[in-house]
Amino acid sequence: MSKKILKIKSATYIKNYELLVTFHDGKEVNVDFYDFLISSTNPQIRDYLNLEKFKSFKVKRHDLLWGDSDLLFPIEDLYSGKISA
């Protein structure tokens, strides 16, 4: 059995801390990052509670990231729509 290779095609800001993530296989997932951000004790991660900073995400090499990889999540988590701390 071969494992599916997941690649992010795009990400679009929806509202608050939610993004619509589109994958190359056509799947679209609404991912809410709020619980992850608010529960973090890391001040660098909590900085992304600033909505303007949160909106500075980009898709680079099929990964969703913020800053110079300040925030980077496993693609399997994004695909499932569940972000864990």
What are φ and ψ of residue 80, in 5° steps? Answer: -80, -15
Find the domain containing 16 and state its range.
8-80
Which stretch of DSSP H or E encloses residue 13?
A: strand 8-15
What are φ and ψ of residue 17, in 5° steps? Answer: -115, 35
Q: For residues 30 and 32, give the distance between their C-alpha atoms in angstroms, rounded to a whole number.
A: 7
Closest CA to 81 of 16, 40, 49, 35: 35
If you search the block for the tokens 């190359």, which residue do you land on? Answer: 24
Question: Residue 40: which CATH number?
Answer: 3.30.2020.10
Instruction: Note the pLDDT of residue 2.
Output: 53
Q: Answer whether residue 71 is part of any domain.
A: yes
Is residue 84's pLDDT more than 90?
no
What is the rounded average pLDDT for all residues in the chain? 93
Q: Answer whether residue 15 is part of any domain.
A: yes
Say whether pTM exceeds 0.85. yes
Domains in the chain, number: 1
